Amino acid sequence: MSADDSQTCHNCEYLWTADHIARLAQAESDATEAYGTGGSEVYDGLRRRVFVVEAENFDDGITLYSYEEFWIDEDGEFGVSYNASCRRCGFDFKFKTTEQIDFPQDGTKLAADEE
Ligand SMILES: [Zn+2]
């Protein structure tokens, strides 16, 4: 049995935030340098660019895809595995564990159907 799920990749969010800070600093620097030198239209355009960059938000569509699976084999081994990976930044994590369980294999009824 398995299930797929997804969530925001925090590594991508971190990378995006660092890039956003750098782009915002560059936009502010460009506007400051243009002040008084390129005419009011150039300066106003660069100031608008600062507002556009400021308003950008991290796209939560950048997702961390996860995959989980569990099984019980005929020898009574219970296993579970999880895999989470990001297609954008390449983050990949796998977790798998197994445990032997006392699992009757002779048709023993373990619980009554009575209400
Ligand atoms: Zn990522």
* Mean pLDDT of the 73-101 span: 89
Rounded to the nearest whole angstrom, what is the distance from the C-alpha of residue 97 to the centroid of ligand 1? 25
Q: Are 14 and 70 in contact (CB under 8 A)?
A: no
Rounded to the nearest whole angstrom, what is the distance from the C-alpha of residue 57 to the centroid of ligand 1? 16
Gap between the Cα atoms of 27 and 14, Å rounded: 20
Rounded to the nearest whole angstrom, what is the distance from the C-alpha of residue 8 to the centroid of ligand 1? 8
Gap between the Cα atoms of 63 and 82, Å rounded: 16
Residue 108, pLDDT above cutoff 70? yes
Residue 96, pLDDT above cutoff 50? yes
DSSP 4-55: EEEEE-HHHHHHHHHHHHHHHHHHHHHHHHHTTTS-HHHHHHHHHHHHHHHH
Rounded to the nearest whole angstrom, what is the distance from the C-alpha of residue 102 to the centroid of ligand 1? 40
Rounded to the nearest whole angstrom, what is the distance from the C-alpha of residue 60 to the centroid of ligand 1? 11
pTM summary value: 0.59
Question: 106 is written with which tokens?
Answer: 């002779």
Rounded to the nearest whole angstrom, what is the distance from the C-alpha of residue 14 to the centroid of ligand 1? 9
The domain locations on the chain are 9-55, 62-100
7-56: pLDDT as tens digits: 888 888 899 899 999 999 999 999 999 888 878 899 999 999 999 999 98
Rounded to the nearest whole angstrom, what is the distance from the C-alpha of residue 92 to the centroid of ligand 1? 9
Rounded to the nearest whole angstrom, what is the distance from the C-alpha of residue 90 to the centroid of ligand 1? 6
CATH topology of domain 62-100: N-terminal domain of TfIIb (2.20.25)
Q: How far is CA 113 from CA 54, 105, 109, in A?
A: 62, 19, 10
Rounded to the nearest whole angstrom, what is the distance from the C-alpha of residue 98 to the centroid of ligand 1? 28
Residue for token digits 């999880």? 82
* Mean pLDDT of the 61-89 span: 83
